[in-house]
Structure 1
Amino acid sequence: MASTDPLVAQLIDAENPEQCGPPPATETLPGRLWAISDLHLSYKTNREELEKLQPRPNDGLILGGDIGETPEHLRLAFTKATSCFGQVFWCPGNHELYTMPTQKEHGLRGEKKYEECVEIAREFGVKTPEDDYTLWEGEGGPCLIAPIFTLYDYSFRPAHVKLENALEWAREENIEATDEHILHPDPHESRIDWCEALLARTEHKLSAAVAAQPDVKLIIVGHWPLREDLVKLFLVPRFSLWCGTKKTEDWHNRFNAKVVVSGHLHVRRTDWRDNTRFEECSLGYPRQWQECKDRGLDINDFLREILPGPELPPADQRSDTIWRRYT
Structure 2
Amino acid sequence: MKLFAVGDLHLGHPTNREAIHRIRARPDDWLILAGDVGETERHLDLAFDALQPKFKQLVWVPGNHELWSVASRGTALRGEARYERFVARCRERGVLTPEDPYPVAAIDGTLVRIVPMFLLYDYSFRPDHVPLDAAVAWAREAGIRCADEQLLSPAPFASRSEWCAARCDLTEQRLEALDDGLPTVLINHWPLREELARLPRIPRFSLWCGTRRTEDWHTRFAARAVISGHIHIRSSRDIDGVAFEEVSLGYPKQWHGRIEPDDAVRRVRV
> Does 1:265 pair with 2:265?
no
Whole-angstrom distance in 2 between the partners of 1:59 and 1:103: 33
Whole-angstrom distance in 2 between the partners of 1:63 and 1:289: 17
Number of the residue aligned with 1:208? 177
Deviation at 1:290, TM superposition (A): 2.4
Q: Percent identity?
A: 48
Deviation at 1:291, TM superposition (A): 3.9
Instruction: Provide the alpha-carbon RMSD of the alignment.
Output: 1.2
> Does 1:42 pair with 2:12?
yes
Whole-angstrom distance in 2 between the partners of 1:200 and 1:279: 24
Q: What letter corresponds to residue 37 of structure 1 in structure 2?
A: G
Q: What letter corresponds to residue 75 of structure 1 in structure 2?
A: D
8 Å contact kept, 2:186–2:226? yes
Q: What letter corresponds to residue 289 of structure 1 in structure 2?
A: W
Q: Which runs of 4+ in 1 moved over 6 A?
A: none
Q: What letter corresponds to residue 190 of structure 2 in structure 1?
A: W
Deviation at 1:232, TM superposition (A): 2.0
> 1:81 aligned to 51, 61, 80, which one?
51
> Does 1:300 pair with 2:269?
no
Q: What letter corresponds to residue 82 of structure 1 in structure 2?
A: Q
> Does 1:33 pair with 2:20?
no
Whole-angstrom distance in 2 between the partners of 1:146 and 1:226: 13
8 Å contact kept, 1:101–1:182? no
Map 1:187-202; keep pairs closer than 5 Å.
187-202=156-171
Whole-angstrom distance in 1 between the partners of 2:71 and 2:140: 22
Deviation at 1:231, TM superposition (A): 1.5
With 45-54 and 242-251 compared, the bigger mean Cα shift is at 45-54
Whole-angstrom distance in 1 between the partners of 2:68 and 2:10: 13
Q: What letter corresponds to residue 287 of structure 1 in structure 2?
A: K
Greater Cα radius of gyration, structure 1 or 2? 1
| Structure 2 unpaired stretches of 5+ | none
Whole-angstrom distance in 2 between the partners of 1:108 and 1:62: 25
Whole-angstrom distance in 2 between the partners of 1:208 and 1:270: 29
SS of equivalent residue, structure 1 residue 193: helix
Map 1:89-100; keep pairs closer than 5 Å.
89-100=59-70
Deviation at 1:101, TM superposition (A): 4.1
Whole-angstrom distance in 1 between the partners of 2:103 and 2:234: 26
Number of the residue aligned with 1:313? none
> 1:225 aligned to 191, 208, 221, which one?
191
| Structure 1 unpaired stretches of 5+ | 1-30, 309-327
> 2:214 aligned to 248, 264, 275, which one?
248
CA deviation digits over 1:195-216, x for unaligned, max 9? 110000000111112x2x11x1
Q: What letter corresponds to residue 214 of structure 2 in structure 1?
A: T
SS of equivalent residue, structure 2 residue 107: coil
SS of equivalent residue, structure 2 residue 76: coil
Q: What letter corresponds to residue 42 of structure 1 in structure 2?
A: G
Q: What letter corresponds to residue 298 of structure 1 in structure 2?
A: E
Map 1:65-214; keep pairs closer than 5 Å.
65-102=35-72, 107-209=76-178, 211=179, 213-214=180-181
Whole-angstrom distance in 2 between the partners of 1:207 and 1:77: 33
Aligned pairs, number = 270
CA deviation digits over 1:144-176, x for unaligned, max 9? 000000000000001111111101100011111
SS of equivalent residue, structure 1 residue 136: strand
SS of equivalent residue, structure 2 residue 243: strand
Q: What letter corresponds to residue 92 of structure 1 in structure 2?
A: P
CA deviation digits over 1:63-87, x for unaligned, max 9? 0000000010001111222110001
TM-score by length of 1: 0.81
> 1:61 aligned to 9, 31, 38, which one?
31
Number of the residue aligned with 1:28? none
Whole-angstrom distance in 2 between the partners of 1:124 and 1:136: 20
TM-score by length of 2: 0.97
